[in-house]
Amino acid sequence: MSDHAKPPRVGLFVTCLVDLFRPNIGFASIKLLEQAGCEVDVPAQQTCCGQPAFNSGDYDATRRIAKQVIEVFEKYDYAVGPSGSCMATMRAHYRDLFEDDPPWLERVDRFGERVYELLSFLTDVMGVARVDAGFAATATYHDSCSGLRELGVKQQPRRLLESVSGFRLQEMDDSEVCCGFGGTFCVKYPEISARMVTDKIAAIEASGADTLIGGDLGCLMNMGGRLSRLGKPVKVYHTAEILADMAGGPAIGEVDAE
Amino acid sequence: MPTAASHLFKQRVPAALADRDLKAAMDKAQDGFIGKREQAVSQYPGFEALRELGREIKDHTLAHLDFYLDRYERQVQRNGGHVHWARNSNEARTIILDLCKRANARNVTKGKSMVSEEIGLNGALEESGIAVHETDLGEYIIQLAGETPSHIIAPALHKTKAQVSDLFHAKHQRYGFHQRLTEAPALVNEARQVLRRRYLDAEVGITGANFLIAENGSNMIVTNEGNGDLTRTMAKVHIVTAGIEKLVPTLEDATVLLRLLTRSATGQEFSAYTTLSNGPRREEDPDGPDEYHVVLVDNVRTEMLGNEFRSMLRCIRCGACMNHCPVYGAVGGHVYGWVYPGPMGSVLTPLNVGLEEAGDLPNACTLNGRCQSVCPVNIPLPDLLRRLRRRQHETGLDSRYSRAALRLWTALAARPALYRRAMQWGAVAMKRLAGRRGRLRRFPLAGGWTRSRDMPAPAGSTFQTLYTLYKEGRRR
């Protein structure tokens, strides 16, 4: 961003879950980034950030995927994605894989400092202070763990949500407690995960909110799937959808009315 | 070493989750610990800087542990005490048993010591005909109940007050207490009356250590009941059991870690009793033991000092990680199957008893990182758990099913064109499966998910497919 005449070039990392389950979040991300003055490209050669392999202890496979991600994204000024956990893998953890490979480690570090989670990128790098959007709701916000603890995403989405007209934020108790998703955890230990998400739903309900917002689709699908199974009317959206004024369609896990 | 039942982790989870008393006890305890810690930390300006200092002290000591151990031993000897070195649990038990026999001990009192649990001391003493009396209230409760600790600082955390009432009512009849008490102060008082007699009977008192101070050979313990003081002063022989990682260079260093410990553990500025033991009774002392012995236990600690798990040796056993762990909160400590539960236990247990035995522990974690964020010495617990998963993967100890699924996924991820086609195919297939409901109540390979959750159905086209159309539309 040193050259003011040229807008920063952003490579959007879509994430596999958004690609498969919720393309709307990808388009909302593009809209927000372009509104902030970025030139956005979505490289077709992208796949997965490697987190499933990394958290399963397969460092070799993760290293191969990480090299591929870096090769695809390092040509942009920034790599930005609508997920705290994918972006934390790329920003904070890729370097763990190259401890014994100094040339790559240097390359990984140069790349890592240009990797951002979407909302914190908009506020912290692009200086976005408000958005032009409307959404009538009393909503509660879930702090997804990786974004919160590995990237420091806490106030950024809240500040931007405050500028949405008709939107009221109602904090729940334990908004920083894990929802029980944990990637493969929810499949490997489904009963424990179910208890955790049930506790989370109780906190959401107790807040009195009619809408749940968050910045990671995995967590949102977990909580949304439990809400839907329990027949709760709370609607679930990704932060980017609200901020981009693109939350007019069905919520996550909701049946299309048409 | 006590037998590990960590391989039963998965089997034990359903019963733990269904136990309503356990849920009531865990919810109450976790809420209490979390709130009190938060308050204590917020009232201490610069707690983050203190954490950093604590980490530095531990890292420095571990980097020069040979020097400080040597210095500590010489200081203990100068104070008239003895240091014994135990490479493993078996050696530690033998040393302590010999000391007890030499003292003709028939009764031993014990302050709370997790290392004594680690080496399986109580069983060994009892087998030799020596009666063991736990004096920490929590330890006393679980000893009466014939159980093991479920938490490292609150061993009976899993019990409700009503369960303790029933237990005391059943077990205290023989001491002449026939009334079923229901209030906490009355229960504590009754336990005190039973325990007082034990201090007078005991020939040997065994305590743990919170900090072993190299510069003067002191041992610092913190308690809230004063039982540690009575255990160490009333008996003729005082034995300290401790892991070698308990060393700190100076008294000043110990006070830094003490500030971190009490706030992180119970949210106290200071525990009710902070006790320094320096050795046997000197001529001018009004009380104290005739003999003072320190048994330093290694087990896997020296090995950890030399590998990627060294940072785990910084642990000061405050329990904050488990207090803030949602998995521990859901299932309680016993499910972990060995001495140390929760996040710190999920690192220590596999290193002590092996990954074959404790393979579930590093995996039964969402890597949410809350444990590290409250750890007083900033141990990277999620990273250490991931490193154990790596060991598992590299030695072929992970499940065949997850290996196969992972191989399929990484193969796809390495081939972008194939990946795009597979994702588009998946989006269509899942949308069809969901039908008009827009969500899946069952899904192949994800039974664990759909047993308690719906799976939102995809829109029918992937982002990449739609984006290609969108870009073409923009170009026109």
Q: How far is CA B105 from CA B95, B230, B290, B431, B445, in A?
A: 14, 17, 14, 74, 60
Contact A221 B437 (CB under 8 A): no
Residues near B278 by Cβ (< 8 Å), separated by ≥ 6?
A: B79, B216, B217, B218, B219
Which residue in chain A has the smallest CA separation from B335? A192
- Percent of chain B predicted with pLDDT > 70: 99
Q: Which residues of B touch A186 (CB under 8 A)?
A: 448-449
- What single string gives the DSSP state of each residue in B190-202? HHHHHHHHHHHH-
* A51 shares contact with chain B (CB less than 8 Å): no
Question: Where exactly are the structural domains of chain A?
Answer: 9-124, 130-243
* Strand B237-243 with B291-297, pairing: parallel
Could you read off the pLDDT of B296-351 as tens digits, one per residue? 999 999 999 999 999 999 999 999 999 999 999 999 999 999 999 999 999 999 99
Nearest to B207 by CA among B103, B287, B277, B290: B277
* A69 shares contact with chain B (CB less than 8 Å): no
Contact A253 B454 (CB under 8 A): yes
Look at residue A4 in the predicted model and tell me its pLDDT.
59
Look at residue B444 in the predicted model and tell me its pLDDT.
66
Nearest to B10 by CA among A58, A185, A179: A185
Look at residue B475 in the predicted model and tell me its pLDDT.
80
Which residue in chain B has the smallest CA separation from A72? B416
Of B369, B402, B427, the CB nearest to A149: B369
Distance from CA of A243 to the nearest CA of B (A): 19
* In chain A, residues 26-45 whose CB comes closer than 8 Å to chain B: 26-27, 42, 44-45
Phi, psi of B437 (to 5 degrees): -70, -25
Could you read off the pLDDT of B360-371 as tens digits, one per residue? 999 999 999 999
Which residue in chain B has the smallest CA separation from A181? B366
- Among the ranges given (A144-148, B193-197, B237-241), the one the predictor scored with the smallest mean pLDDT: B193-197
Look at residue B111 in the predicted model and tell me its pLDDT.
95
Contact B413 A48 (CB under 8 A): yes
Could you read off the pLDDT of B435-452 as tens digits, one per residue? 877 778 877 667 788 889
Distance (Å, rounded) from C-alpha B472 to C-alpha B476?
7
Task: Report residue B140's pLDDT band, with 50, 70 and 90 as the boundaries.
Answer: very high
* A238 shares contact with chain B (CB less than 8 Å): no
Q: Which residues of B touch A27 (CB under 8 A)?
A: 463, 466-467, 470
Instruction: Report the pLDDT averaged over residues B372-387.
Output: 98
Which residue in chain B has the smallest CA separation from A64? B414
The top-level CATH class assigned to A130-243 is alpha beta
Which amino acid belongs to residue A181?
A: F
Residue B467 has pLDDT above 60, yes or no: yes
Look at residue B433 in the predicted model and tell me its pLDDT.
86
Nearest to A237 by CA among A220, A225, A257: A220
Distance (Å, rounded) from C-alpha B1 to C-alpha B120?
5
Task: Report residue B190's pLDDT band, with 50, 70 and 90 as the boundaries.
Answer: very high
Highest mean pLDDT among B399-403, B440-444, B459-463 belongs to: B459-463
Nearest to A132 by CA among A32, A33, A217: A32
- What are the counts of helices (DSSP H) followed by strands (DSSP E) for chain A? 15, 8
Of A149, A193, A225, the CB nearest to B455: A225
Q: What is the dihedral of CA B260, B261, B265, B267, to 10 degrees?
A: -50
Instruction: Report the pLDDT averaged over residues B212-223.
Output: 97
Contact B449 A186 (CB under 8 A): yes
H helical segments located in B176-305:
184-201, 227-234, 251-265, 301-305
Q: Which residues of B touch A65 (CB under 8 A)?
A: 410, 413-414
Q: From the centroid of its chain, how far is CA B342?
A: 6
Nearest to A210 by CA among A237, A228, A233: A233
Of A56, A61, A228, the CB nearest to B389: A56
User: Which SS3 state, helix, strand or coil, does residue A162 take?
Assistant: helix
Angle separating helix axes B227-234 and B184-201, nearest 10 degrees: 10
Contact A255 B449 (CB under 8 A): no
- What single string gives the DSSP state of each residue in B72-127? HHHHHHHTT-EEEEESSHHHHHHHHHHHHHHTT-SEEEE---HHHHHTTHHHHHHH
Q: b/e map of A164-190 (b: 16 or more CB within 10 Å)?
A: beebebeebebbbbbbbbbbbbbbbbb
Look at residue A258 in the predicted model and tell me its pLDDT.
39
Residue ranges in chain A whose pLDDT is less than 50:
1, 257-258
Distance from CA of B131 to the nearest CA of A (A): 39
Contact B453 A47 (CB under 8 A): no
User: Which SS3 state, helix, strand or coil, does residue B247 take?
Assistant: strand
Contact A182 B13 (CB under 8 A): no
Distance (Å, rounded) from C-alpha B450 to C-alpha A225?
8
Mean pLDDT, chain A, integer: 95
Name the CATH topology of B41-303: Rossmann fold (3.40.50)
Look at residue A206 in the predicted model and tell me its pLDDT.
98
* In chain A, residues 145-174 whose CB comes closer than 8 Å to chain B: 145-146, 149-150
Q: Which residues of A touch B393 (CB under 8 A)?
A: 56-59
Question: Where exactly are the structural domains of chain B?
Answer: 41-303, 407-475
Instruction: Report the pLDDT averaged over residues B415-433.
Output: 93
Which residue in chain A has the smallest CA separation from B456? A253
Q: Which residues of A touch B402 (CB under 8 A)?
A: 56, 184, 188
Query: Number of C-alpha atoms within 13 angstroms, CB side, residue B39?
Result: 10
Q: Which residues of A touch B327 (CB under 8 A)?
A: 189, 192, 196
